[in-house]
Structure 1
Amino acid sequence: MEKIIFKISILLSFMLLTTYTFIGCSNDDTVTETEEGSDDGDDTEVVIDDTDFVATDWTDATHSKDADPDFDEVFDDTAVKRIDLVISEDNWDVMLADMTELYGAFGSRGNSGFSDEDPVFVPTSVFYNGIEWYKVGVRFKGNSSLASSWRAGILKLSFKLDFDEFEDDYPQIDNQRFYGFKKLSLKNNYDDKSMLREKVAADVFKNAGLAVSHTSFYTVYVDHGDGPIYFGLYTLVEEVDDTVIETQFSDDDGNLYKPDGDAACFASGTFDEDEYVKKTNEDEADFSDVQSLLTIINDDTRTSAPTTWRANLDAVFDTDVFLKYLAVNTVIQNWDTYGRMTHNYFLYNNPGTSKLTWIPWDNNESLQTGKQGGSLSLNFSDLNEAQWPLIGYMYEDDVYKAKYDTYVQEVVDGAFNVSTIQSTYATYAALIESYATSEISGYTFLNSSSDFQSAVNTLNSHVVSRAAAVSSYLN
């Protein structure tokens, strides 16, 4: 039976032309699989073929679920590694048609709407160091960064990889892993001409002693029918709901939330289970931990009996971790997260403490003053405390403020020390410059190769200015 899918051709100018193509099942090994489409009820047809292949490159160390995550191999700070995505022409067309449905025509800057739907997964061959990973689920990822890149006519889009997404269709890849990792993100370093922010911010959080994703630099090549095309330098990011909670906590059985929406600000009266998106234990309708946090942070005992309020809050929320995170995040500056935006963080109910623990996420907009009113000041004078009570009410409390101030000093003395960070910038810039500036085309956010060094210079000036801001704040 013939299926209608969109066939999209992207010209050298990256203008999108849409035509229609009919796909037929040429043999019993080629089928189409319906994936849930966008809100208008349309579905997307993903091509499932070659179901009888043999996984000849499979080894326990490289592909098996039984292998421990190999951080040294996958997240090497001293090298820029290469990863290739080979997507069939038909499934590439499916991905582009799906993006058109979600975000409008490629290069259409006039379309400003966003989508609540994730783009479609398609089966993809992934190659690394001459080894193949089979029928890996690959999709475009991101929110505003994805929409903005697409509408700007830039095909350097972020990708999400799930190595056993299609195991029901391909039993050969049951529990397939990439050196112990099930999920990984390839971030396109949107709006970052230095391509360093995601990486360096994660390093600072890690060096401050906080749980955070590992990161590393990769060049990405995509073959969607005409041979490998260089899509540019990306930052590979470890997924929180995969190995972060598995390796950085006592176990991974707790509730993991990725809040998004009004409830994510924890203001009084905003509780909404649908906006505390569960990434683990999804079938258990128990949101009592996040509900308790919202109730306690807004409780009147905050002013009438602060010792009781702190004890109750400490019982359900790792306040020490949050205050350390807050100090790091505010010193380095990051506007695209809690305090300005109701997203870009995780909360994990750590089984070792039975407390919700803060995990930072998505740092490409960090290390700058930023947009949307800019990053918060160190004393939060620009914060609506009732709207963002986890910051506002805790900073108003003398005990919590004293801890925050201590951590602010520790950050500039240690993880975000001027000489340390400028050395880090120099090392990473030397490592990636040739890859970042080698092709100025539709797969980069640079206008010229000089943009890269100019952005690095801005980062070097920024860390100096932040040390001065901290000195002024504390004194």
Structure 2
Amino acid sequence: MKNYKTQLFSLFIILIIFSCTSDDVADVTDVVEEDDTEVAIVIDDTDFEATDWTSETHSKDVDPNLEEVFEDNTVKRLDLVITEERWQTMLDDMTNLYGTFGGTSTGAGGPGAGGPGGATAGIDEDPIFVPGEVFYEGKEWYRVGLRFKGNSSLKSSWEAGILKLSFKLDFDEFEDDYPQIKNQRFYGIKKLSLKNNYNDASMLREKVAADVFRNAGLAASHTAFYTVYVDHGDGPQYFGLYTLVEEVDGSVLDTQFSDDNGNLYKPDGDAATFASGTFDEDEYVKKNNEDEADFSDVQSLLTVLHDGTRTTDPAAWRASLDAVFDTDVFLKYLAVNTVIQNWDTYGRMTHNYFLYNDPDTSKLTWIPWDHNEALETGNGQGALSLNFSELNAAQWPIIGYLYQDDVYKAKYDAYVKEVVENSFEESTMQALYTSYAALVEEYANAEVSGYTFLSNSSSFQSAISQLKSHVSSRKAAVESYLD
């Protein structure tokens, strides 16, 4: 009789399993006791149908729809749904990396850890990815790879007890586990970042700085404002106003270069300075072509920069440098970056830029990254002066050596003038700040304690006023420099 009852019960359990879908339960293993018999119920989340999938919205077979994803004059909404268990796994991983949430770090970085450029020292691994769902405009994207992201900003937010953390989204990260999402894309885009606007009460800097770089004709990420809600078991929680940022090792290469197969580096550490003797393959972090142990392009740049012809035969030095490095792009970037003031990058910090070996030119090309600290004088030593008077040229030779060369300096000066007359023109920027502030203010002020960096109700408008004063002061600084 007992065996008969067990068989009936097992059949009942099987019927339950087949009647459940991944939307009902995910990654659950329970043990149910019937008399002395234990029956293990294993229900995973691999059995689902991607019912919202269309070629236009989810497939790899379309060009990135930048107009849909990065719309300038609106604030859109993204919902991230993560199971309670996976959310806890993410939090536990953060605790292992950075210590107790809301307390002094006891993780691998140690209390107050900070390496060159303010990056977190001792932590050379990213937070873990977990699969979760992304919802946008009534459509679902399935088992998207979701993780926290950032360096010092992530550590500081975590230690301050603020859950408005930046996220990285990789839409086919888990395609091996879920064949239904093979080559899943978000309107043709594989990777996105949701930046939390850390240390920016205006919540505009990340977007505006990227706008300025691209309006100057440089390769840079598209950006847009989004509200983010996260449901990790108790319903949607408003995490705040974020800036959605296009990943460089994704659609930036796809759409702003004709060929995306060149080496892409994100240098970080002493080698990122390109000072003499700093070459280190581990710090020239490859974002693609990782299996190819070829670092000859960055090695050539380092070698040419420090070649003796720089002082004995400047024309020959420039010819050699121009052959391996797109100096024109760099000088234009340098003019924009110095005019708008962006201290958290090369020249002050050993991070926050990419180098791409463009197959069309066989030259390393500079791509800016991470602009929440731009458009202000800056922390620490502050942003560099327009004439780089405080710069140690040997320590930061890509700036120092080029500025010391009369030909390159003349090009830089011309770009500085061009920046304030075009991409960072005063009246245009004042109007843009006014427009963007009106667009996002209600969402910024709707942020709640524990999910915001705003210290009080006037913080947002005060930050907008500072941005407007800043653009006027930069115009005056450029006029003084050029005179």
TM-score in same-fold range (> 0.5): yes
Q: Which residue in the other structure is 2:368 paired with?
A: 360
Letter matched to residue 206 of structure 2: E
- The question of 1:469 aligning with 2:464 is answered no
Structure 2 counterpart of 1:14: none
Contact 2:386 2:481 in 1 (8 A): yes
1:70 to 44, 62, 65: 65
Structure showing greater radius of gyration is: 2
Alignment of 1:53-202 (within 5 A): 53-109=48-104, 111-113=111-113, 114=120, 115-202=123-210
Structure-to-structure mapping, 1:29-68, within 5 angstroms? 30=43, 49-68=44-63
Distance in 1, Cα, partners of 2:29 & 2:273: 49
Deviation at 1:116, TM superposition (A): 1.8
Matched, 1:269 2:268: no
Aligned to 1:328: 336
Amino acid in structure 1 at the alignment position of 2:160 = A
Shift of 1:458: 0.2
Map of 1:41 onto structure 2? none
User: Aligned AA for 1:315?
Assistant: A
Alpha-carbon distance between aligned partners in 2 of 1:375 and 1:82, rounded to the nearest angstrom: 34
Q: Hey, what does 1:235 align to over in structure 2?
A: 243
Task: State how far apart, in whole Å, the 2-side matches of 1:129 and 1:405 are.
Answer: 46
Query: Would you say the 8 A contact 1:81–1:219 is kept in 2?
Result: yes
* 1:156–1:443 contact (8 Å) kept in structure 2: yes
Structure 1 CA distance, aligned partners of 2:139 and 2:260? 30
**2-structure distance, mates of 1:283, 1:116:** 19
Is contact 1:297–1:390 with CA below 8 Å preserved after alignment?
yes
* CA–CA separation in structure 2 for the residues paired with 1:403 and 1:374: 24
RMSD between aligned alpha carbons? 1.2
Give the whole-Å Cα distance in 1 for the aligned partners of 2:332 and 2:317: 20
Give distance in 1, aligned partners of 2:73 and 2:471: 22
Tell me if structure 2 keeps the 8 A contact 1:29–1:52: no
TM-score (norm 2): 0.89
Give me the whole-angstrom Cα distance separating, in 1, the residues matched to 2:424 and 2:415: 11
CA-to-aligned-CA distance 1:117-154 (integer Å, 9 cap, x gap) = 10010000110011000000000000000000000010
Of residues 338, 352, 355, the one that matches 2:346 is 338
CA deviation after TM superposition for structure 1 residue 282, in Å: 1.0
- Report if aligned partners of 1:29, 1:50 keep a CA contact under 8 Å in 2: no
Aligned residue runs from structure 1 range 174-323, under 5 A: 174-323=182-331
Shift of 1:250: 1.4
Q: Name the SS of the counterpart of 2:63 in structure 1.
A: coil
CA distance in 2, matches of 1:56, 1:233: 29
Misfit runs of 4+, over 3 Å:
22-30
Shift of 1:67: 1.5
Q: Does 1:408 align with 2:428?
A: no
Structure 2 alignment gaps of length 5 or more: 1-26, 32-39, 106-110, 114-119
**Alignment-mate amino acid for residue 121 of structure 1:** F
Contact 1:85 1:124 in 2 (8 A): yes
1:238-278 Cα distance to aligned partner (Å, 9 max, x none): 00000101110111011110001111100111011111111
What TM-score results when the alignment is normalised by the length of structure 1?
Answer: 0.90
Rounded Cα–Cα distance in structure 2 between residues aligned with 1:273 and 1:116: 15
1:395 matched to 2:403: yes
